[in-house]
Amino acid sequence: MRLVVTVNGTNHEVDAPPSASLLSVLRDDLGLTGTRFGCGSGQCGACFVIADGRAVASCLMPARQAADRDITTIEGLAKGETLHPVQAAFIAEDAMQCGYCTSGMIVSAAALLARDAAPDEATIRDALAGNLCRCGVYGRAIRAVRRAGAP
Amino acid sequence: MNLQERIRIEPDGSVTAFSGKIEFGQGIRTAFAQLVANELDVPVERVRVVMGDTGQVPFDFGTFGSHSVEQEAPALRRAAAFARHVLIDRAATRLGIPATRLDARDGVVADGDGTGLGYGDLVLDAPLKGEVPEDVALLPPARWRHIGQPLARVEARDIVTGRARYTADIRLDGMARGAIARPPARGARATRVDDRAARAMPGVVAVVHDGDVVGVVAERDEQARAAADALDIDWETPRREERATQVVPLREDGGTDAALASAKLVLSATYTLPSIANASIGPSAAVVDVRPDGATVYAGTHRPFGLRDAVAGRVGLPQESVRVMPQMSSGTYGRSSAPDVSVEAAVLSKYARRPVLLQWSRAEEFAFSPSRPEAVLEVTAGLDASGQILAWRYDEHTNVHTAAGPDPRAAAMTSGRNAVPPYVIPSAHVVLHVEPTPLRTANFRSLAAAENVFAIESFVDELAHASHQDPLAFRLRHTSDTRLRRVMERVAEASGYGKKLPERRGRGFACTRYHGTYLAQVAEVEVSPAGAVRVLHVWCVIDPGLVINPDGVRNQVEGGIQQSASWTLLEELRHREGRVATTSWDTYPIATFRDAPESIEVLVEGEASAPSTGVGEPGAVPTPAAIANALFAACGARVREVPLTRERVRKAMPTGGV
C-alpha cells in the first residue's frame, strides 16, 4: 500500500503493508529508529511520537491513519545542533540510565510543555504516567521537565 | 596483562581503551573513560572505550555482581599509567632529554621549557606495547583531573536525540526479520510443523524448524509474525526430570539450638517473596549474520564470550569464527546473561542465509524470559536478658538464581547471597535449600541478596521491637564493622531519624554490606486506612570505596531504590500450570511516574582509601525491608510477604483495618 506521511516537516512516500503501524513505518521504512518498540499495545510509552500536538503511541496507530496528521519524532525535536530545552534538561539532570525509554519520555514532556509552559510536579507526573522506566530515573526526569519548563 | 590489549594511543593522539565489560546504563563506559583520561591526562572526550567486542577485547567472564568497577578499574588504571610512562620514555629518547625532566600533560610530553611531542607523534612509528608491571606508579591524587568529578554519561547526547542505536535499530544490507512460534507450555517440542499456509504468505523468506527453534524469516517484522502465527504445529511436552533439593550450609557455628534454648526471648518468623520479572522495557533482541565460515552477533549481553561459545556451538561453527559485538541495550538487570534470543536468531539466519533481526514481543519477554525465583525465609533468633542476640537460625528456600544453572560450587554466592547477616552473632546456623522448580529462573539484580536482606532486616526490626529497643540502636550494638556503623549513623543524621511524624506515616531503617559496598537506608511511607502504601521519601548513605563519578553512583543508587520500591509494592509474576499468566504491563504493573517517591536522597560518602566497589545492585537491596519497617512504624502492620498489597496490609493492621 502506498501512502504519504508527514514526519518532522517532510513528506515521505512509502510502500508498506496495510497492517503496518506508524512505528513500523518510522523504524523500517524511514530509518527513524529513535522511536523504540516496547510493548506493541500502547502501555509503555517507548514508541511515543507527537501527532497533531499530542503524544501518542505509534505502535497502535495504523500507518494509513498517520497519513493525514503532522508527526514529530524524537529526531525532529532538535533544530540542527540546538537541542530542544527538554533534551538539554535531560542531559543536565543526567535523567537517563539505559536510555531506551528516554525518547518516549522526552516526546511526552515536549508535548506537555507545548501546551503548558511551566507545569507543576503533579501535572508532570500525570503527563508522563504513560512512560514506563525500569531503571528508575523518574525523580531525575521530573526535575528535568521542571528545569525545561522554568521561565 | 599486555598494554596493547588494554590501551591504544591513536595517531591523532586520542586514546582507545579496551574492556570486556558491558554498558547497560550503569555508566561504566563513562567511569572507565574518566579513569583512563585521568592517568593519561587528556580530556575525557579524547578517550573511546571499546566494550565487550570479542574481536577486540581481552577475555572477560561477564558483567554482573556489580563487579565492573572493582575488577576493571585497577587494570585500566595501571595500563593507562604504564602507557604514560612508555610515552615519556619514548619522548626522552626522541628529544634527547632525560625522562625525569619530562611530564605528560594534556596529550603532550614536554619539559618545562615547552619542548615536547604529542602522544600521537610518539606512536607513529610503532604502537605502544609491553607487559604492564604490577607496581606501575599511578598519578598522585594532586594531579587528578577526572577521578571523583561528576560527569554526565558520554552517550547522553545520542540518547536524548534518538541517535543512539540499540540492537533492534541495526539495519544491515540484506537483513531480514525473524519471529518464533511459541509452544503452549514452556519446554514443549514441535513434533509436526505444517508450513504450507505460512510459506504462501507475503514476504516469507524461510520457515525454520531445527530442534527447539521453530520460526519464520520474512522481509518485514509484521510479515514474519503473521507467518509464525500461521504455522500449524503439534507440540509435545516432555516429562520433567525430577531434581533433588541442594542443601548448602552457609554458616554452622554449632551450639545454636542450645543457645536458643537458653535465650530469654525467642522469636521466629517466615518471610515470603514471589517470583518477579526483570521486565526490561525493550524486549530481548539480536541481529545475527551466520555465514559458512563464521558469524557476527549484535546483541545486548552480560557475557559476550559465553554468548560467542553458545552461538558457535548451536550453529556448528568454531568459536574463533564467531564475533560478538555488544550493542547498547535496554537495561535487563541480569536477564541477558542467557544467550537465548541470539541463539534463536543465529538458527534463523543459518537457514535464511541472511542476517536476521529477531526481537521478542512483550508477551514473549514476560512468558519465556528467566525471572527471579520465589524465596521463603525462615528465621529464629534468641536474645539474652540484656537484649543481645545469642543465636540465629536461618533457612533459605529458593531456586537457582543464575543462567549457569544448578552449579553446587556457585550456590552459596548466588542463591545464598547475603544470607549470612552482617551482625555480630555468637552462634549462627544458616542453611540454603536450592529447590527444583518448573519455572525458568535466573539472574536478577543482586540475585538472592534482596530476598535475604528483606528477611534479615525485617526480622532485626522485629527483634528490636519485641525487646523494646530502638531499631537503629539495636543494629549498632550488633555491628563491629566501622564502615557499616558509619553509613548507619550518617543516614540517621541525614534523615533526621526519630523525628515526630504525622499520623499514618512512619520511617523504617535497613542496611547491608554487599560485595564490599556499605549502605544504609531510611524510607518514609504513608499508609491509607485501606492499606495502600505510598513511599514518600528515601534517604541512603553509600560507601563504595574510592568514587570515580559521584553523580553516576547517585543515579545508580536512586534507580536501584526506585526499582526495588516497585518490586516491594507492586510486583508478582503469576504462574498457572507452569506458564506465566502475567504477560503484559497491565497484568504485571511496575511503578510509574505517579508512584515515584517525592524524594530519593543519596549521599555518596566513599572511603577513599578503600578500593572502588560496585553500586549497580546494592541500592536495591535494603529498600524492601526499609519500606516494610516503615509500614510497621506507620500503623503497626507487620507484613512478611512481598508485595505489600493493600489486602495484606489491611489484614496485618492491629485494628484489622479501618
* Average of per-residue pLDDT across A40-45: 98
User: Over the stretch B473-499, which tens digit does the pLDDT of each residue have?
Assistant: 999 999 999 999 999 999 999 999 888
One domain for residues A65 and A36: yes
Task: Decide if A132 touches B, using CB distance below 8 A.
Answer: yes
Query: Measured between alpha carbons, how far is B547 from B544 in angstroms, rounded to an integer?
Result: 7
Residue where a domain stops, chosen among A55, A76, A97: A76
Question: Are residues B186 and B237 in contact, defined by beta-carbon separation less than 8 angstroms?
Answer: no
Range of the domain at A128: 85-149
- Evaluate if residue B38 carries a pLDDT over 70: yes
Q: Look up the pTM and report it.
A: 0.94
Shortest CB distance from B152 goes to which of A17, A91, A97? A91
Query: Measured between alpha carbons, how far is B81 from B95 in angstroms, rounded to an integer?
Result: 21
Could you tell me the three cell numbers for B122? 610518539
Task: Decide if A137 touches B, using CB distance below 8 A.
Answer: yes
Cβ of B362 within 8 Å of Cβ of A140? The answer is no
- Evaluate if residue B66 carries a pLDDT over 90: no
User: Over the stretch B72-106, which tens digit does the pLDDT of each residue have?
Assistant: 889 999 999 999 999 999 999 999 999 999 999 99
Shortest CB distance from B166 goes to which of A44, A74, A100? A100
- Evaluate if residue A151 carries a pLDDT over 70: no
ipTM for the whole predicted complex goes beyond 0.95? yes
Query: Measured between alpha carbons, how far is B650 from A107 in angstroms, rounded to an integer?
Result: 39
One domain for residues A55 and A121: no
pLDDT at B310: 97
One domain for residues A72 and A6: yes
User: Over the stretch B510-542, which tens digit does the pLDDT of each residue have?
Assistant: 999 999 999 999 999 999 999 999 999 999 999
* Average of per-residue pLDDT across B544-568: 95
Residues in chain A: 151
- Evaluate if residue B435 carries a pLDDT over 70: yes
User: Which residue of chain A has the CA closest to B561?
Assistant: A136
Query: Measured between alpha carbons, how far is B192 from B486 in angstroms, rounded to an integer?
Result: 64
Tell me what percent of the residues of chain B surpass a pLDDT of 70: 99
Could you tell me the three cell numbers for B192? 509436526
Cβ of A75 within 8 Å of Cβ of B162? The answer is yes
- Going from the C-alpha of B303 to that of each of A7, B290, B342, B437, the distances in angstroms are 39, 19, 12, 25
**CATH of the structural domain B3-160, one choice from 1.10.3720.10, 3.90.550.10, 3.30.365.10, 2.60.120.260:** 3.30.365.10
Q: What are the phi and psi torsion angles at B35 (to 5°)? A: -65, -45
Cβ of B584 within 8 Å of Cβ of A41? The answer is yes
- Evaluate if residue B206 carries a pLDDT over 90: yes
Cβ of B585 within 8 Å of Cβ of A39? The answer is yes
One domain for residues A38 and A67: yes
pLDDT at B70: 79
A43 contacts in chain B (CB < 8 Å): 362, 584-586
- Evaluate if residue B658 carries a pLDDT over 50: no
**Which residue ranges does chain B devote to CATH 3.30.365.10?**
3-160, 169-238+284-359, 434-652
B333 contacts in chain A (CB < 8 Å): 134
Question: What pLDDT band is residue A22 in, cutting at 50, 70 and 90?
Answer: very high
Cβ of B282 within 8 Å of Cβ of A46? The answer is yes
Neighbours of A79 (CB within 10 A): 8
Q: Does the domain at residues B434-652 carry the CATH identifier 2.40.10.350?
A: no
Residue where a domain stops, chosen among A27, A47, A76: A76
pLDDT, averaged across chain B = 95
Neighbours of B12 (CB within 10 A): 10
One domain for residues A7 and A68: yes
Tell me what percent of the residues of chain B surpass a pLDDT of 90: 88
- Evaluate if residue B626 carries a pLDDT over 60: yes
- Evaluate if residue B198 carries a pLDDT over 80: yes
One domain for residues A6 and A65: yes
pLDDT at A53: 94
Shortest CB distance from A132 goes to which of B153, B220, B590? B590
Question: What pLDDT band is residue B203 in, cutting at 50, 70 and 90?
Answer: very high
Shortest CB distance from A98 goes to which of B221, B330, B592? B330
One domain for residues A68 and A128: no
- Evaluate if residue B657 carries a pLDDT over 60: no
pLDDT at B19: 95
User: Over the stretch B411-428, which tens digit does the pLDDT of each residue have?
Assistant: 999 999 999 999 999 999
Cβ of A134 within 8 Å of Cβ of B594? The answer is no
Question: What pLDDT band is residue B403 in, cutting at 50, 70 and 90?
Answer: confident
The closest of B506, B421, B515, B420 to B460, measured between CA atoms, is B421
User: Over the stretch B175-191, which tens digit does the pLDDT of each residue have?
Assistant: 999 999 999 888 889 99
Fold observed for domain B169-238+284-359: Aldehyde Oxidoreductase; domain 4 (3.30.365)
**β-pairing verdict for A48-51 and A54-57:** antiparallel
Give me the number of domains chain A comprises.
Answer: 2
A88 contacts in chain B (CB < 8 Å): 160
CATH number of the domain where residue A16 is located: 3.10.20.30
Residue where a domain stops, chosen among A27, A50, A76: A76
CATH number of the domain where residue A116 is located: 1.10.150.120
One domain for residues A101 and A130: yes
